[in-house]
Structure 1
Amino acid sequence: MPAHTSVDDRRRPPVPVVRAALMLRVSTRAQATAYGLDAQEEAGRAYVSNRPGWTLPPDLIFRDEGVPGTVVDRPGMRELEEAARRGRVDAIVVHNFDRIGRTGEAFWTWIWAMEDLGVVFVSVTQDIDTSTPLGRQQLQSHAMTAEAEWNLVRDRTQAGRRQKALAGGWPCGPAPWGYAIEGRDRRRSVLVVDDGEVSVVLKAVSLIVDEGRSISAAVGELNHLGLLTRSGRPWTVANLHRRLTSQSLLKGEVIFRNPVGTGTNRTKLAMAGLPLHGDSVTIPVPRIISAERARALSDAMEKNGHRAHAAAAVYPLSGRIVGRCGHHYVGAYRNSDDTRYYRCGGGNNGKGRRTGCRDPYLTALDVEESVRAEIVTFLADSEHVEKSAAALIKPFPGDIGKQRERVAGFESALQEKERAVAHAAADLARRPYLDPTVMEAAMRQLKEDVRTASMLLTKGREILARQMEREADAARVMELIATARAGTRELSETEWGDVVALLNVRVRPLGEVRKRSGVKCKVTDWHDRTGILVPDEVLVARWPAVEALMRSFFPRPQFARGAVCIRTQLNGILHRLRTGGLWDELPERYGSWQLVKDRQNTWFKKGFWPVLVGHLNSAGGGTRVRKEAQVPPLDITWHS
């Protein structure tokens, strides 16, 4: 028997089904592993369960662990955006709206991005639902209040730091090398010389100035003596160079909010290039070395050629080659023969004894050419290119077309509200008999509406500018890939570096290459560059003609300085060029390999080698020179 349904039940509209998603975020890892995320999830689940018709699929719970609220591009939000684009989300539940973002840019970027997809936000603790006009108005008020509070805290913090710096105190951050912070937990904290680190500083300076060592040699000596970095890790050339060129060491001062600083923690600058949160402050610190000693250090570092190392700073595969020991290769430079190469970090600075790293040095030119060839082959596949481009070019959240419409709407709304304020002011001026309290309240509300509209327009323009910037970047990516693919022009080193980064290239050497002296064989390179064949072995019957050629070229006879004749040495040279072996692998029948090598280099230096090769090749025969691979087989992968 069917269940009885009343007339009222049949007339009542069905409860709409709302597919909810939870967005959870905490700013620190400590919160993520403690109670923060779990508490948010529990409250969000309870909220959804108490809303009729609402559902929460298990795979629609997104987490951003340890991500500050000032960051826009967050992994969890990106995944949530993708789910919304697939039409799987109707409403996003947050514990509090500051979980979306603590700054206007982070907050409104995601509010509007989801609004473009028809998705609304609800807050568990604030009882705000953006699907209603009242909820949107409450949201605007909350956003303005939250950003004002965040700016106030930031400004107070920055002002306090500057005041501390002006007083000669240490405002924030770790102490420079050779110093320690005294009174860290008190209001007055200052930098003092750290006796433990000073011994390392002075030893490093002595190695450079007094012993005339290069920075690379100084690094090796410091690590050998166990005089390691503050963190207890071995020194690297780049790390020691940064420490030895610091203003605290060379000038006895530190610049707080230095506008020319570098690195991820550099001072934020305004449009004019000045520090965003206040003027720079120079903080004097106790000198570790005298001004005269500092000048001698600077002169010695410039003299030992470290700047030549920096001149070859284009290493597109640095950090992208993974050695068998698990460490990454980094770019390096050798002054002696002007060569760029890559070396495994697992073997640098004496770490090989601990890591067991035996990964070979890789000549930069050779490994980069191998990677470029693979990339060109990859780019020839249209389907792969399209997939890679789609994965690489992540647009700034939101629809740029709808954002343009939104900004245009904000501009019109602001103009309308400004006209309303002007009209109301003129109207009230004609009615002096009205209650002043009522007049003041009316004008205050109108001006607040103008302020809100102005804030929304400002944020809308900022986000539109970011979207347009990302769109321009995407166009550049596609142009760069298209150029590399078509080969219409030669890409510069920097552009190839961009392609490598865009494709997220990863390289893993699969074998070994035999260790060479590092000095290129000029004869091998000459044959390879010119394409001139290496002659066949010189038989006894042809030797009289070769001897006659030698007499015509050299004023003095050529003599062998060993137990073998010149013809045998010549055949040893040709054998090595045909086989691509190392000099010390030359078979014993050719005599001392050192003497054979000297013979070859002398003939080439004096210009006889091309003459001799031309004579020998006139009879026909010959083979291509064999250059042994300078890099092992490589496993090259990329993002696809």
Structure 2
Amino acid sequence: MDYLRVSTEDQAKGYGITCAGKKTGRYIGVKGWEHVGTFTDVGVSGALESHERPDLRRLMEEARKVPRSFDIVVVNEGRVIGRTGRAFWRWVWELQEIGIFVAVVKRDYDNSTPEGESKMRKDADYAEDERNSIRERTQGGIQEKAEEGGYVGGKVPFGYRVVGRGRTGKSRLVLDECCGGGDCEAKHEACALRRGRSLFVALQHWGRAAATLNAEGYARRDGRPWCGQSLRQQVLSPIVMEARQVFRGSRGVKRDRDGRPLNGDPVVIPLPAVFAPAEAEELLRTVGRRPDRTVLTGHVYSLSGRIVSPCGRRYVGGGRIRRGRAVYRCQGRGEPYAGVPACSCPCLAAEPIEQQTWRRLTTFLSDADRLRHVTGDRTTVWGSGQVDFEGRRADLDRKIGIQTQALAVALGVAAKQVVARGLCLAEAEKAVERLIAPVQDELDVLLEAKEALTALEAESAAVQGRAALLVEVAAMAQRTLGHLPLEGQKEFMAAIDAKVTLVEPPQRGRSGQPCAMAAWFSERRLGVPLLTDEGWAKVEPMITHRPRGVCPRLVMTGILYKLRTGVPWSSLPALFGRPATLQTYAVRWRASGFWKNAMRVLATAESTPLPAAFEPATRIECSIVPEDLLATQQNTSPRKPALAGYGTGEAFKFRMGSDTGLA
């Protein structure tokens, strides 16, 4: 089996991946091995671990099968294995434990012998050193460009464009405006921002300003028309308002333990101003004069902003509607941009979807075995003792002891040779260092390998500790989650960053309300009677109003059919007549008392239970950090784990399908 990897798509398009495949294929043929398959990761960084590289993950799954289809993995170079110690050794050691070795074409070795392991340790050190060197050069160049006020890459802010792109030291951000004389017919971005600002100041309404901007032919960068929200976002952007861009000042920048950016300090890059100072002040005053929105209170919407609608937007709590029922409304029901119809996503009754989501979450989190099962990809190897850390440490200690003795012998021999040559003290020291350098280098490699082993053993212990924390999470869920009020549920949803996606379009009803007739039966705990000839003979004399063109028995049969099946009014079979007619009679009969009397007469008739309440098909996703979650429920600060290392405080991501199973 051979494994090929390149870190960029450009290398894959060139000769890199093809050339590597030819080399590994020839190597397998020369060795007389049987080539059973190839796994290839294209555009995948060597700093990623095995479970984060798609094809390497499949290779490891194949290796764990019994019986195994291969006993050696061939790579072209050592850096293909990994660019960091963790990414390099974890999957190599796991394969070695189950009897599969790794061969490297470039230096013609494999790790089935001590000599091969020594060469592999040197390749691991070289791959990591090379990665660090490349990163330092790249980040240093970007930092220098930022300090000079140049364009450092990434998304170009709206209102600006890049000049001098591709020319070393010449690329800059300038205003995207007409720079030539005469009449310019193009609609430039900076001009759109200025016009949008003046329209908002005049109209004091972002939606009307966007509609006017669209009518004048201005569009967003992707060609779509403006809406009020997008216009507000671009005009009030900090980059536009402050005429500056902060490089390495965002939250996503990698930082050290003291909070300082790893690859350089933040740099403020001044930009040409879109608005004059007086125009910016006028805009801010106008924004400040607008009244705040009034927010409806009453129901606590625990899933507001967490339900993804079929149109791709989010459902938010929409206040209360008729009969005092709380609902969620899709944000897409507002105009996507001026003059265009809104989406048709129906409202969702709040209580059913909140209860369904909370029930599925608490059931899932209360099952410790299930939690351990779904995190198995991250904890199986390092939390179950598959790697013999004690044996590997003893082997390394033995090799370090032998190498230390060899270094002492080499030092004595080198000292005698230097003394015999009669060199001065400075020259003698340099000569001794040169003579013992190969032995010292091998000892350094062994010591680094031991440090890496110690770190991975600590990580294994941390993983076992986190597995125990998952058991604590399950116990906490059993103990407390079933009794949380909506306010507590809302805080919990935020803590686990829950997202609920509607897999199928929800049933359409009147503003998300459940069927009033079904609610009437449910409140009285009645079944839906079958309307037989005998039953109709009892009910018919009670009907006082008989309009022409309407068959009362057919209307009642249609209403009972709707209750028995749970289908919407609009989906009733045509034989029952117009759905609006059936709805009208259902309301009229219920209000007049006829329905109550008719059901009392039919109480002894054969009946069927109401169908289960409709629950929309949903997929739930969440991200759980056990330490923080337990601390939140105990009203304490997040605990500091006893074992530091990789994985500590890491989030476990879960996805529950619509059948409450894991997707």
TM bucket (normalised to shorter chain) is 0.5 to 0.7
Contact 1:414 1:454 in 2 (8 A): no
CA RMSD of aligned residues (A): 5.6
Query: Alpha-carbon deviations, 1:392-445, whole Å to 9, x = none?
Result: 442168435437547855995898699779978997999783662552224534
How big is the shift at 1:279? Answer: 1.2
Within 5 Å, give how 1:3-82 maps onto structure 2: 21-29=1-9, 31-32=11-12, 36-52=16-32, 54-57=33-36, 60-72=37-49, 73-82=52-61
Deviation at 1:92, TM superposition (A): 0.8
The CA distance in 2 between the partners of 1:155 and 1:302, in whole Å, is 50
Residue by residue, what CA displacement relative to the aligned partner does 1:69-113 show, whole Å, maximum 9, x if unpaired? Answer: 222221211111122222444211112222222333322333233
The aligned length equals 525
Q: CA deviation at 1:581?
A: 10
Whether the 8 Å contact between 1:208 and 1:300 is mirrored in structure 2 is no
**Number of the residue aligned with 1:639:** 662
Listed one character per residue, the Cα deviations across residues 498-540 of structure 1 (whole Å, up to 9, x for unaligned) are 8896xx9764235532242x8x99xx9xx99xx8999xxxxxx
Instruction: Identify the residue that residue 143 of structure 1 maps to in structure 2.
Output: 124
- Give the direction of change, closer, same or farther, for the CA distance of 1:461–1:343 in structure 2 (3 Å limit): farther
CA contact (8 A) 2:371 2:470 kept: no
Match of 2:373 among 385, 390, 395: 390
Deviation at 1:297, TM superposition (A): 7.1
Q: Is structure 2 residue 193 aligned with structure 1 residue 201?
A: yes
Change (3 A) 1:277 1:390: same
Structure 1, residues 607-637: CA drift from partner, whole Å, max 9, x if none? xxxxxxxxxxxxx99x9xx9x9897576924
User: Any residues of structure 2 matched to 1:308-323 within 5 Å, and which?
Assistant: 317-319=306-308, 323=310
- Structure 1 residues 123, 287: closer, same or farther in 2, change over 3 A? same
Corresponding residue of 1:276: 262
Which residue does the alignment assign to 1:188? 170
1:233–1:412: structure 2 CA closer, same or farther, 3 Å change rule?
farther
Task: Label 1:379 to 1:489 Cα distance change in 2 as closer, same or farther (>3 A).
Answer: closer
AA aligned to 1:125 is: K
After alignment, is 284-293 or 74-83 more displaced?
Answer: 284-293
CA distance in 1, matches of 2:222, 2:494: 31
Structure 1 residues 379 and 159 mapped into 2: Cα distance closer, same or farther (>3 Å)? closer
Deviation at 1:46, TM superposition (A): 3.0
d(CA) in 1 for partners of 2:397, 2:193 = 63
Q: How many Å separate the matches in 2 of 1:408 and 1:244?
A: 61
Cα separation, 2, equivalents of 1:407 and 1:242: 57
Please tell me whether the aligned partners of residues 95 and 125 of structure 1 are also in contact (alpha carbons under 8 angstroms): yes
Does 1:85 find its partner at 2:64?
yes
Separation in 1, partners of 2:5, 2:228:
39
For residues 309-388 of structure 1, the aligned pairs below 5 Å read: 317-319=306-308, 323=310, 327-332=311-316, 334=318, 341=328, 343=330, 349=336, 358-363=344-349, 365-374=351-360, 386=369
> Aligned equivalents of 2:334 and 2:327: distance in 1?
17
Q: Is it true that 1:285 corresponds to 2:255 in the alignment?
A: no
For residues 174 and 441 of structure 2, the distance between their equivalents in structure 1, rounded to whole angstroms, comes to 51
> What is the distance in 1 between the residues matched to 2:192 and 2:225?
12
Indicate the SS of the match to 1:50.
helix
CA contact under 8 A between 2:24 and 2:75: conserved in structure 1?
A: yes
| Whole-angstrom distance in 1 between the partners of 2:406 and 2:231 | 62
State the match for 1:172 in structure 2: 153
C-alpha spacing 1:399/1:236, structure 2 compared with 1 (3 Å):
farther
- Percent same amino acid at aligned positions? 25
Task: Find the aligned partners of 1:497 and 1:430 in 2 and give their Cα distance.
Answer: 68
What runs of 5+ residues in structure 1 fail to find an aligned partner?
Answer: 1-20, 535-578, 597-619
* Distance (whole Å) between structure 2 residues aligned to residue 590 and residue 81 of structure 1: 64
Alpha-carbon distance in structure 1 between the residues aligned to 2:164 and 2:441: 46
- Aligned positions of 1:507-522 closer than 5 A: 507-509=502-504, 512-516=507-511
Compute the TM-score of the two structures, normalised by the length of structure 1. 0.64
CA distance in 1, matches of 2:165, 2:269: 16
Q: 1:250 aligns with which of 214, 217, 241?
A: 241
- Contiguous gaps of at least 5 residues in structure 2: 178-187, 422-427, 527-562, 571-579, 592-599, 604-609, 619-656
Contact 2:46 2:80 in 1 (8 A): yes
Q: 1:228 touches 1:234 (CA, 8 Å); kept in 2? A: yes
8 Å Cα contact 1:93-1:122 kept in structure 2: yes
Normalising by the residue count of structure 2, what TM-score does the alignment of the two structures yield? 0.62
| C-alpha distance in 1 between matches for 2:218 and 2:117 | 61
Structure 1 residues 249 and 103: alpha-carbon distance in aligned structure 2, compared to 1, 3 A threshold: same
* Counterpart position of 1:551: none
Larger mean CA deviation between 506-515 and 142-151 belongs to 506-515
> Which deviates further from its counterpart, 137-146 or 394-403?
394-403
SS of aligned partner of 1:121: strand
Distance 1:243 1:478 in 2: 47
Taking a change above 3 Å as real, the CA distance of residues 349 and 510 of structure 1, as seen in their structure-2 partners, is closer
| Contact 1:228–1:235 (CA under 8 A) maintained in structure 2 | yes
Q: Structure 1 residue aligned with 2:433, among 426, 429, 440?
A: 440
Could you tell me how far apart the structure 2 residues matched to 1:161 and 1:142 are? 29
- Cα separation, 2, equivalents of 1:245 and 1:411: 61
Among 427, 449, 455, the residue aligned to 1:456: 449
Q: Is 1:341–1:365's contact at 8 Å kept on the other side of the alignment?
A: no
Tell me how far apart the structure 1 counterparts of residues 80 and 408 of structure 2 sit (CA, whole Å): 40
- Please state how far the C-alpha of 1:277 moved relative to its aligned partner: 0.8
In 2, the alpha carbon distance for the partners of 1:297 and 1:387 equals 55
